Amino acid sequence: GREPMGDVWGLTLTEVAEGVRCKQFSSTEVTRACIERAEDLQQSLNAFIAIDAEGALRAAEKADAALARGEVLGPLHGVPLAHKDTYYRKGRRASCGSLIRRDFVPDRTATTLARLDAAGAVDLGGVNTSDCGLNPFGLNRLVGRARNPWNPDHVTGGSSSGSGAAVAARLVFGSMGSDSGGSARLPAAMCGVVGLKPTDGRVSRYGIMPLSYTLDCPSPIARTAADCARITGAVAGHDPLDSKTSVEPVPDYEATLDRDIKGRRIGVASNYFSEGVADDVKSVVDRSLEVFRELGAEIVEIRVPDPAPMDVLGNVIVFAEGARVHEQWLKERAEDYTPITRESLEFGLALSATRYLEALNMTLVALKIVA
């Protein structure tokens, strides 16, 4: 007989996938538990914009029926996930955390969601986000900010605020956020989980609310590096619907996770890296470096360029490209934006084409992509 489900909240995504596949518990059981937990904590954490309980249970039942026939749908078979509400699913509202798009119902499904469906994942719905995916605090006028599970008075970071909160609070086992300038890495850091910004062009952007054509990057958030590897492996690869996606084959990301790091050199910045860092954070980082040393890695101090100019260049690119996306709404519905988002986009409207192209070129030069 099957073991009782017990407390699944301590499990990682890969452990839940294994538990469902080995019939320790069913996808329906895990999904129901996640829905109940998400609903119970919604008032205190505000992690979700919309919980699609009906759709999630349908997907879970489909996963269980397939397993009963001896069929494993994929590497995420039966695992409950939930994604930033900038990801489109045909026929389901995708608010993008915005008053302007509160009733938007897309006519297409994001390639990433379609690939997660094909991998057997269960989608619990849309999680909170900064207004149109643009501000680092998770602020929006639609439903208000998500709250940090470690301390609800603190911000989650943004713009993938609900992704960080939902994973950290164990409402789901992973989430697709997005990252144009830290929007997945910030909430992951502030919520104590793992955020991965994949290589540019590795994951399709088709069917996701755009912000910056140059810098937008679909990015997973989960509890562990292995969990992020599992999600990335499922969604990566060329997509004819996004011409920017790479045609390079997708490697087995999980296969290298247990590789010995003895003899590897790990660079640690001697400048900028520790400026203004709290003592408790610094001590944790120092302890992590000790772990690397114990595993045989060599820690090498390096000097890095000043990140401030790159930050300015990145903002010029994001704000200018974002202003192009939002130009008509800014003219007609400026008052519906969250103030910090509107100010950034209005700054983008004021930028000249020369300044924008200069920022693009300087960024490419700095990255040594052009001579």
Among all residues, which ones are annotated catalytic? 84, 159, 183
Contact 20, 79 (CB under 8 A): yes
d(CA 274, CA 282): 7
Rounded distance between C-alpha atoms, residue 289 and residue 77, angstroms? 35
β-pairing, 265-269 with 194-195? Answer: unpaired
Q: How far is CA 152 from the centre of its chain?
A: 20
CA atoms within 13 A on the CB side of 371: 0
Dist CA 76 CA 14 (whole Å): 8
The answer for residues whose C-beta is within 8 angstroms of residue 194's C-beta and 6 or more apart is 188, 221, 222, 223, 224, 225, 227, 228
Q: Which two tokens stand for residue 349?
A: 């409207």
Two tokens, residue 10: 């301590």
3-class secondary structure, 224: coil
Task: For residue 182, count other CB atoms closer than 10 A to its CB.
Answer: 19
Using the Cα atoms of residue 282, residue 280, residue 310 and residue 130 in order, give the sign of their dihedral.
positive
Structure tokens at 233: 């492996």
Which are the contacts of 263, defined by CB distance < 8 A and separation ≥ 6? 296, 297, 298
| DSSP tag of 87 | B
